[in-house]
Structure 1
Amino acid sequence: MDNLLEHFVTLWVVIDPIGTIPVFITVTAGLEAAARRRTALLASLISAGVLLFFLIFGQLLIEALDIGLNSFQVAGGIILFLFALTMIFGESKQEIERRQAEEDRGDKMHQHNPAIFPLAVPSLASPGAMLAIVILTDNHRFSAADQGITAMVMLVVIAIAFVLMLLAEPIIRLIGHSGAAIISRVMGMILASVAVNSVLSALLEIMKTGQL
């Protein structure tokens, strides 16, 4: 029971369903309600699939490629920092309207799906979440049954994130797009600080231990 609670808290922190709300509001600001619901569902399914992949194959992949956890953390921090910059500066109203017009015309050749990036990866299935799921299902320490329980806990957290993204719609109606833009920029600053802290922590660990 203690391990179950520990795993839930760990996965809650690294997946961060609450922190996904301003990201969801930002990337779906120009979408209709039905499209936002589809985006939330797709992001949840993709992030669950990515984390399940790392649960099953992550340890084997990292060991086979001889990738150090600190190196993975540095790379993840850089990616999160770059995404934080997009949250801080954001798209102008004209850019959002142009993107929506292109989608309405069916011109999707150069469009990316926000459900995949940035919602599924790296917001929900962040590098930290990928590492956490590998550590919490270490093949040398946990049985298949324990790993199955951890997988269920992870899916519960993803389900909560999906519900919170659905609740983002009334939040948008309450605060408006201007309020959403303000929240996005504030959260972008916080996310940038978290990303920098992640990189610096990994670099300090590399300097102390000499291990990548």
Structure 2
Amino acid sequence: MEFNFKEIFTAFMVLFAVIDIIGNIPIIIDLRNKAGHIQSEKASIISGILMIIFLFLGKSILNLIGVDVNSFAVAGAFILFFIALEMILGITLYKQDESTSVTASVFPLAFPLIAGPGSLTTLLSLRAEFRIENIIVAVIINVIVIYIVLKTSSKLEKIIGKNGINIIRKVFGVILLAIAVKLFTQNIKALFI
């Protein structure tokens, strides 16, 4: 095992930007109002388990359907690019179904809001670039942050305010856009060699 603080921090920031738990506070509050109660522990643990399982089995699934990690990383770069555009421009390219059931902790919160297509694609894209133990640590740190945000979402919304949440979304959107461009340029070369 070779832990690298720079890799852990970068992987954490990429996942944090993609999951966008701070930007999702209004959605979380809306879910809480509709469902009555959200089990923060359950949602955090399930999303963390989903991400780690996909980190290990995602490559096998890709091999099974005949897609290499570099191609998936390029596809992931496109997804990150569009997520970043949503964050920066305040538009919605991907519409999620709303749920009013008591299972809101698992669906749509743990999946697909937290461990959704963007974060799962990002994990495989990161795997093409970073060591797996560093990505796992980044996932665990993100799960802890997610739990804290879920537990304190109504307080955070009052403290940060709607304008603060919008500013945070746009800043992370720009960071995510830069990461998408880097991911694309590093992996597109491997496809033409």
Q: TM-score range by the shorter chain?
A: 0.5 to 0.7
Written as runs of structure 1 = structure 2, the 5 A alignment for 1:150-165 is: 153=137, 156-165=140-149
Written as runs of structure 1 = structure 2, the 5 A alignment for 1:69-88 is: 69-88=69-88
Is the CA contact (8 Å cut-off) linking 1:11 and 1:157 kept in structure 2? no
Task: Rate the CA distance shift 1:116–1:58 in 2: closer, same or farther, 3 A.
Answer: closer
Q: Percent sequence identity over matched residues? A: 23
1:22-60 CA distance string (max 9 Å, x none): 822322325538829838556533432323433553343
In the alignment, does 2:123 pair up with 1:129? yes
Task: Rate the CA distance shift 1:80–1:86 in 2: closer, same or farther, 3 A.
Answer: same
Is the CA contact (8 Å cut-off) linking 2:18 and 2:176 kept in structure 1? no
Is the CA contact (8 Å cut-off) linking 1:70 and 1:203 kept in structure 2? yes
Is the CA contact (8 Å cut-off) linking 2:81 and 2:180 kept in structure 1? yes
Tell which deviates more after alignment, 40-49 or 176-185.
Answer: 40-49
Selected match of 2:178 from 193, 208, 212: 193
**Secondary structure, counterpart of 2:26 in structure 1:** coil
In the alignment, does 2:190 pair up with 1:202? no
Provide the C-alpha distance between the structure 2 equivalents of 1:18 and 1:170, rounded to a whole number of angstroms: 23
2:23 counterpart residue number: 26
**Secondary structure, counterpart of 1:26 in structure 2:** coil
In the alignment, does 2:111 pair up with 1:116? yes
Task: Rate the CA distance shift 1:75–1:42 in 2: closer, same or farther, 3 A.
Answer: farther
Is the CA contact (8 Å cut-off) linking 2:72 and 2:124 kept in structure 1? no
Q: How many residues are treated as equivalent by the alignment?
A: 179
Tell which deviates more after alignment, 70-79 or 48-57.
Answer: 48-57
**Secondary structure, counterpart of 1:24 in structure 2:** coil
Query: Which runs of no fewer than 5 residues in structure 2 stay unpaired?
Result: 93-97, 102-106
Q: CA deviation at 1:67?
A: 1.6
1:94-140 CA distance string (max 9 Å, x none): xxxxxxxx878x8xxxxx835434422256x4424235569856xxx
Q: CA deviation at 1:89?
A: 2.3
Is the CA contact (8 Å cut-off) linking 1:20 and 1:161 kept in structure 2? no
Q: CA RMSD in A?
A: 4.1
Structure label with greater radius of gyration: 1
Is the CA contact (8 Å cut-off) linking 2:11 and 2:135 kept in structure 1? no
Provide the C-alpha distance between the structure 1 equivalents of 2:135 and 2:18, rounded to a whole number of angstroms: 23
Is the CA contact (8 Å cut-off) linking 1:74 and 1:202 kept in structure 2? yes
Q: Compute the TM-score of the two structures, normalised by the length of structure 2.
A: 0.66
1:69-105 CA distance string (max 9 Å, x none): 110101111111111121122269xxxxxxxxx878x
